[in-house]
Amino acid sequence: MIESKRVKIYPANKEQMENQIASENDPELKKAYKEMLQGCIDHPDLWDWYAMWIIENENGNNIGNLCYKGLEADKNPEIGYGIFDEFQGRGYATEAASLAIKWAFNHPEVKAVEAETDFTNTASQKVLEKCGFKATGTMGEEGPRYILYREKLNKNERQK
């Protein structure tokens, strides 16, 4: 579990992930959660890199989730995140993404973290920019890709 003043994040266990899959109505999200669980089952030693991570606010409410899309040799991990509608616009996504980035960079093999967001999701693009990500100029399946290098994060933190 990793926490800030207002947010804590932690990887879901198998039962929590199965419950999320069972309760999900969006077919794309259901598919993504199934892929996460399968990644955990296929790579139990890398569970945290494949699992859905639960985001809770300061009141203990589940307000969203995030994930890393695996950890593969010679490839940067990619993060994804979402905050439930009723909790959006309060800075929770930025806090949760910042915690996730710091966690990833606590692993020496991780030199950069990547993300991509839908063209129309300006809120998510702002979250990435606030966390220090820069657009790569390339497009992924969902839209523009972003990257944050370890050195850049460390430099930004020293300047604060």
Give me the domain span that covers residue 11: 2-159
118-122 long-range contacts, CB within 8 A, separation 24+: 118/142, 118/143, 119/143, 119/144
CATH classification at residue 148: 3.40.630.30
Name the pairing type of β-strands 52-57 and 62-68: antiparallel
For position 158, what pLDDT does the model report?
Answer: 44
The domain total for the chain is: 1
Angle between helices 92-105 and 122-130 (to 10 degrees): 50
Whose structure tokens read 């910042």?
A: 98
Residues of the chain falling short of pLDDT 70: 154-160
Report the alpha-carbon distance of residue 141 to residue 148 in Å, rounded: 19
Report the alpha-carbon distance of residue 140 to residue 120 in Å, rounded: 14
Of 48, 39, 64, 42, nearest to 12 by C-alpha is 48
What residues pair up with 3 in beta bridges, in sequence order? 8
Burial of 87 (0-12, 13-18, 19+ CB in 10 A): middle
What's the number of CA atoms in the CB half-sphere (13 Å) around residue 139? 5
Task: Find out whether 76 and 113 touch, Cβ atoms under 8 Å.
Answer: yes
For position 157, what pLDDT does the model report?
Answer: 57
Residue 157, token pair as written in the block: 């933190």
For position 155, what pLDDT does the model report?
Answer: 58
Of 134, 114, 30, nearest to 72 by C-alpha is 114
